[in-house]
Chains A and B, each alone.
Chain A
Amino acid sequence: MNITQLLFWLLTVIAIGSALMIVTSKNPVYSVLGLIVTFFAISGHYILMNAQFLAIVNIIVYAGAIMVLFLFVIMLMNLSRATETLKNKWLQIVGAIAGSCLFLVLIAALKNTEIKKNLVEMGTGDIGLVKSLGRELFTTFVVPFEISSVLFLSAMIGAVVIGKKE
């Protein structure tokens, strides 16, 4: 087991652990913190795949901007346990069982599957670099790239419609 593999497993454990923390934690602040840790771990994975740009963007946008926003909102709204509604125990249990079933079924079905080719290029390749990413985005992927602008525009309008006072 070389250092890359070691790092991979370490990051994976952190990512899954903190993701579990998001859903199990009773305090929303802890949930958000867990989410931030998850994002960092995933960024670590990106770096392992030599996708530095994605890693940085992930941290800046998600862990940096969005998560901080979440934290502020939660702190300003002062959500404490008193305002938290009762959750149905039974539903939680059934939900957990159903989720695990889905997980198990998928694992069982996919465990022996063959991957078409070695898609992940660990430690090699320059696909994830800013330069090649940029070239791809503005040549091959220019149509979806430009069309995404409509998506963001509609989200912006939505923010205005929902947020502005009547």
Chain B
Amino acid sequence: MNNVLDIVYWIPLLPLLGCIINGLGRKNLSKGAIGFIGSGVILASFVLSLWVFFQVRGGNVHTAEYFPFINVGNLKIPFAFQIDQLSAIWLLIITGIGFLIHVYSVSYMHEEKPVHFGRYFAYLNLFVFSMLLLVMGANFVIMFIGWEGVGLCSYLLIGFWFKKKEYSKAANKAFIMNRVGDLAFLIALFMLIHKLGTTTFSEIFTSASLAKLSGKEMTTITLLLFVGATGKSAQIPLYTWLPDAMAGPTPVSALIHAATMVTAGVYMIARANLMFAMAPATLNVIAIIGIATALLAATIALKQNDIKKVLAYSTVSQLGYMFLALGSGAYVAAVFHVMTHAFFKALLFLGSGSVIHAMGGEQDMRKMGGLSRYMKITNITFLLGCLAIAGIPGFSGFFSKDEILAGAFAKSPVLYALGLFGALLTAFYMFRLYVTTFKGTFRGTDEQKHHLHESPAAITIPLVILAVLSVIGGFVGVPEFIAHGAHALSGFLQPVFKEAYAVLPKHEVEHSTEWGLAGLSSVLVILTVIIAWARFSKKPDLQAATGFGKILENKWYIDELYQGVIVKPLNMLGSFLSNVVDKKVVDGLVNGVGRLVRYGGRQLRWLQSGQTGSYILMMVLGMVLIFIVQFFLRK
């Protein structure tokens, strides 16, 4: 029973403590102290996570139960953490990258007032706490707690600079879209309780337990879970919140909206891999939605001019790749891409933050250009990040993306072709971004030019570390066809996915074919990079978009579509209910209670006009209806 891993509760507890200290002491603590506490607790968690990781690698997989959380009849939901290969990897990503971003934030947020500075770190720590809860939970309920928690923190952090109105609107949008996803998650949760009577992963994801579900039920539950994942991981149709979420501070975008929270959906499906493997229909849906999201977001990214918006759509697109991998049954590839993506996308966001910082808050890359002369470290690290995401051979993105494409090819060559096209788009828009920002001549104001400088060490050191990881991170997953047994990640994760792989249909791809695919994609990507570089270094893409470009610039008008199709009718229904039904039908019968409430004294003479009468009338009508149905229609 006793296991050294029982102390893992400190991993989430430390950030929570940090949140409480910073939240309560934000008026009294100095900025230095707040930054030190905020980053220090995450560092401590990271050290613990490292230790956990080596424990797990040593074969110590453990579920630590702390206390019974909910006991209802036969349903027992303990407060328990599950430490296995999958959660260990996520722990490292969350705390490791989390720590770097905390350090970065100390410098980036330095101009905030101490109170807001403390608030910021409290939220950020709370986010890390929730995220850790999400990945460590040993059952769906604990996972859901974390799931809601990260949504809440993301909401608070997007709206952090609430003085601008559109920012709090963006926060609202993120929140509502996430709620739609959460709803599906909850319904799936209740269906699991209903059918299986448990929410604990180790009890659900066994062949014996899943055999109790019919194929239809399995498909329904997995589809609902997937809808939950689309909300959190910004997939079609619930992706539009993520680009708007860029309203938050840049480190937040890096941590929450690129590296960690948005991968929660991937984590959940990877966690439930056996169940998804047994629902082939759902897998097909996931693969199709994944590739569609990847392509849609990539095309939109081609024409965005806001540096963070490009990165945001790129994130949506990369998440699409992860779902493509999940849908193709290439679970390891998905986890692998989560990891490498966390490295290079965090790097790119932090790099863009460094640029925005130097530009005095300017985010429009049409007003940048030639920054490589002023910001050497940012320039180099950003370039490395771009090379990694584009998938240049040798960089981390190459390995993970290649593995996804190979998985897609095994499922269907069409998926592969579309995926490859998306990869080319990625290379194209990333280098459009890079060249427009860092090359050419500076196009901003003189004042901005005067202000340009390299960022301080607290910003550049995380950049360098992440750049190194982005370059070498891929070598944990060297494909089988290059070197036999070199895929360390696959070997590490093998216990988690082996049952699912046994269920999934096998599509072996010849090693020679794989060589061919990898070679083809490498050549095409390098060509694309060269084309993009040549094109934009000569003439930056400055003029207003026309024709098809205009549609892309306006994001395929999806936001407008949602506004027209969903939001407006809902608003109309709502105002109908509140204005017509509530006021006209009920109140209107007797000249308006609503008015009476509002005008109070002036209309007191209406007091006897009998509004009560209309209320009682409604009650009587209700009674008559129930009586009639009960006595004459039922039976």
Contacts and interface: CB of A to CB of B under 8 A. Distances in A.
Interface in B562-605: 589-591, 605
A98 B168 CA distance: 49
A85 B607 CA distance: 9
Chain B CB count within 10 A is highest, among A86, A98, A102, A108, for A98
Interface residues of A, number: 16
Interface stretch (B305-313, B345-353, B624-632): B624-632
Contacts of B237: none
Contact of A109 (B610, B617, B621, B631): B631
Contacts of A102: 620, 623-624, 627
A20 interface: no
Given A91-B589, A108-B631, A85 B617 contact: no
A112 to B, nearest CB: 11
Nearest to A108: B631
A91 B617 contact: yes
Interface string B380-402: 00000000000000000000000
Interface string B15-59: 000000000000000000000000000000000000000000000
Which residue, B605, B606, B624, has most C-beta atoms of chain A within 10 A? B624
Contacts of B621: 98
Contacts of B624: 98, 101-102, 105
Do most interface residues of chain B lie in helix, strand or loop, or is the interface mixed?
A: helix
A94 B631 contact: no
A88 B627 contact: no
A14 to B, nearest CB: 26
A123 to B, nearest CB: 34
Interface in A73-97: 85-88, 90-91, 94-95
Nearest to B621: A98
Nearest to B614: A91
Place the interface of chain B in its size category.
10 to 19
Contact of B620 (A85, A98, A108): A98
A99 B613 CA distance: 12
B606 A85 contact: yes
B82 to A, nearest CB: 56
A101 B623 CA distance: 10
Given A106-B627, A109-B627, A87 B609 contact: yes
A88 B589 contact: yes
A104 B145 CA distance: 53
B620 A91 contact: no
Contact of B590 (A88, A98, A108): A88
Interface string A146-161: 0000000000000000
B608 interface: yes
B589 A90 contact: yes
A105 B591 CA distance: 30
Contacts of A106: 627
A85 B589 contact: no
Nearest to B608: A85
Given A95-B617, A98-B620, A98-B621, A105 B609 contact: no
Given A91-B613, A95-B617, 10 more contacts: A87-B609, A94-B589, A94-B617, A95-B620, A98-B617, A98-B621, A98-B624, A102-B627, A106-B627, A108-B632
Interface of A: 85-88, 90-91, 94-95, 98-99, 101-102, 105-106, 108-109
| A-B complex: 3 closest residue pairs judged by Cβ atoms | A109-B631, A105-B627, A98-B620
Interface of B: 589-591, 605-606, 608-610, 613-614, 617, 620-621, 623-624, 627-628, 631-632
